[in-house]
Amino acid sequence: MKVFIVGASGLVGSNCMQHFTTEGWDVMGSYFSYPTENTIFYNTLEPSHIDNYNIKAWQPDVIVHCGALTHVDYCETNEEESYQKTVQSTINIIALAKDCNAKLVYISTDYVFDGKEGPYTEDAPLNPLSVYARHKLEAEQLALRELTATLVLRVTNIYGHEERGKNFVARIIQQCKEGQKLTLKLPYDQFASPTNAFDIARAMFLLLRDNKNGIYHIGSTDYMNRVALALRVLQYFPNAQYDLIPLNTAALNQPAARPLLGGFVTAKFSAAYPEFLFSNVDDFMKASIS
């Protein structure tokens, strides 16, 4: 299997690149703004960019699209940029997948739901609340409509190992290891399914190996709010100094609306792969501090 990963320097992309390579697949991955070892440049907004790697000449069997503008509040006040980096980039990747006769994997989110009745199954009613969420849903639906061979993985609250350590859990770990005092103002009313990026890569590998299409929800057995998630990490650093201030979402006054009861029911994936075991935050913490 030849797989090209767009956005391979990020959290999900880098874990996919590592796992697929370990499994013996022929894998290449790109970066846009943050180069990492073994990634090459590709600008999804300029398919004819002179420095773009010639993906079509490489002829991948699968293109995994991990790139998007994920800063939810920034998207709310920069709607055109959000559209370009999430929707237009996907339109361009769809065209590339058609040219290569390749399967497309699109990474989506639980933000396509309104958070009133979560956790969610794949067929739950869609109702995105923010610019970011609307653009993710638009791109997801475009991919499914334009390409029969499309696999959509909806994921949420992703953590794990990545070079930049940008994710919520990784930032707390790094600050604790450096002896910094943390000030955490976190919502107690936003619930989701924190998921290790490596589990997403493992699940995607199985779905691609078995040529699955359509939408799959991928989420851990953990289901918690941000306060509980932070405390779960902090318990592994008994000497950590921190101020944890629980707030409701309204008090945070964030520009973009959030789904409060998000997260996933993963029954569809689990029915196909009953022996697959998701890891949880404690598994990750024990491995990270050992």
CATH class of 2-162+195-222+263-279: alpha beta
Residues in the chain: 290
Which pLDDT value is given to residue 83? Answer: 97
Tens-binned pLDDT, residue by residue, of the chain (290 aa): 999 999 999 999 999 999 999 999 999 999 988 788 889 999 999 999 999 999 999 999 999 999 888 899 999 999 999 999 999 999 999 999 999 999 999 999 999 999 999 999 999 999 999 999 999 999 999 999 999 999 999 999 999 998 877 799 999 999 999 999 999 999 999 999 999 999 999 999 999 999 999 999 999 999 999 999 999 999 999 999 999 999 999 999 999 999 999 999 999 999 999 999 999 999 999 998 87
Q: pTM higher than 0.85, yes or no? A: yes
Which pLDDT value is given to residue 289? Answer: 82
Give the three-class secondary structure for 62: strand
Which pLDDT value is given to residue 35? Answer: 85
Q: Is there a contact between 109 and 72 (Cβ–Cβ < 8 Å)?
A: no
Which pLDDT value is given to residue 241? Answer: 93
Angle at 203 between CA 191 and CA 229, to 5 degrees: 25
Closest CA to 45 of 12, 85, 99, 103: 85
Which pLDDT value is given to residue 34? Answer: 77
Residue 203 CB contacts under 8 Å (≥ 6 apart), including other chains = 153, 216, 218, 269, 273, 276
Which pLDDT value is given to residue 186? Answer: 96
Coarse DSSP helix, strand, coil percentages of the chain, rounded to the nearest 5 percent: 40, 20, 40
Residue 69 CB contacts under 8 Å (≥ 6 apart), including other chains = 75, 81, 82, 85, 86, 132
Which pLDDT value is given to residue 67? Answer: 84
Q: Where are the beta strands (DSSP E) in the chain?
A: 2-6, 26-31, 39-41, 62-65, 103-109, 150-155, 158-159, 182-187, 191-192, 195-196, 214-217, 224-225, 242-247
Distance CA 142, CA 147 (A): 8
- Residue 105 tokens, joined: 């994997």
Give the three-class secondary structure for 155: strand
The type of residue at 256 is: A
Looking up tokens 């009745």, which residue turns up? 117
Distance spanning both ends of the chain, measured CA to CA: 34
